[in-house]
Amino acid sequence: MRVGNRKIRVPVSQMFSLLLISVSALASTPAMACHNEIERVRDPRIDALQLADKLLLETDNANAAKIVDRHFPGLRAQKLVRGVLALRGARVLALVSVRSDGGWYQSGELTLGSEKERAANLAWAVRQLDAKAQGAPHSTSPQADLGEAMARVPSERLRARFLLEEMDKVGRLRSPFALAALAELRERSGDAAGAKAARRECVHRTRNAAICKARPKESEPSS
């Protein structure tokens, strides 16, 4: 479905890889019985979230969002998502939106809406990730996710820079996505050497160097 002026297609190869991953996840039997295994069997949403997390790391945003949308319908309608598993789902949707410049998965497609819609999606994403980060103040990845999301919102960039710089200073910035966001923030402030260093570290943290490349500036919503 086309909303706004852009449409992001889910390639057949990605759909096929999703199918393969799903089948292999179901067929693999390395895990043995343990309480976490019992919970996983009882609640299929856990497997779904783990798969969505993995797809997100592999930059397969559309399929990550698709899985979450199927198991947690209607999250976007909630101003602040509640519940541990639902918030995990909201994290995936939020990061998908952040990494697609405010895009949203709906009716089987990841689409980019109007500038206003994209800004609203990003604001929603920051709100959910902020809630998640506040729930785990000593954990690295929720803070990095929040920093990455805030870096996409012009009014939050100062906060994003502060957070990401602080994390980088103590060597706690391990997400290549957050490192790329830091590089971008540094570039904006004219710190070319700092940006280069962040991109270099980003490349060290991933096999997918495309994550670390600078994004075209016109792709962002302006609000």
CB 34, min distance to other proteins, A: 5
The string of DSSP codes covering 144-167 is: HHHHHHHTTSGGGHHHHHHHHHHH
CA dist 147 to 16, 69, 120, Å? 32, 24, 17
CB 120, min distance to other proteins, A: 27
> Toward other proteins, which CB reaches closer, 170 or 210?
170
Summarize as ranges the residues that interact with other proteins (CB under 8 A).
28-42, 46, 49-50, 53-54, 57-58, 84-85, 88, 138-141, 170-172, 174-175, 204-208
Residue with tokens 């402030």: 189
Give the separation between CA 99 and CA 87, rounded to whole angstroms: 18
> Toward other proteins, which CB reaches closer, 3 or 57?
57
> Toward other proteins, which CB reaches closer, 54 or 157?
54
> Toward other proteins, which CB reaches closer, 157 or 205?
205
**Helix 176-188 to helix 140-150 angle, to the nearest 10 degrees?**
40
CB 141, min distance to other proteins, A: 5
